Amino acid sequence: MEHVYQRRVAFADTDAAGVVHFSRILCYVEEAEHSLLSELGIPLMDGGGWPRVHVECEFLAPIKPGYELEVVISPAQLGNSSVTWQFSVIHSAQTMAQGKVKSLRVDHSGKPVELHPSWREALTR
């Protein structure tokens, strides 16, 4: 399952060199993740959460203000209580960044909880 999230780069996302700050790219990926989870009916803010426990990102080309981006995200691996997302950030058919983010499902106290069977089914369609 691939989800494509589209976003225009804002000037406020850039650093002193006039390119998108690396940390903002990970925010774009998080926006794409939230978009997909919302589309699938998987809750984001229900007393539990999805903290990141591992991030890998390869920056391949500078991203500039005004670029129209496609963030392509898909679940690469499901654990007992985690989802590892694979992502690519694309502009004009060129991959600008790519990597993986592992999110852990936790309850209100921050303890890992098992993924709900309906979520697991939705993520593997």
Q: Which residues are catalytic?
A: 15
Question: Which residues touch 4 (CB under 8 Å, ≥6 apart)?
Answer: 70, 71, 72
3-8 β-sheet, strand order: 3-8, 68-78, 82-91, 94-104, 52-59
Q: Are strands 3-8 and 82-91 parallel, antiparallel or unpaired?
A: unpaired
Tokens describing residue 87: 């992502």
Enter the tokens of residue 21: 């700050």
CA nearest neighbour of 119 among 42, 4, 5: 42
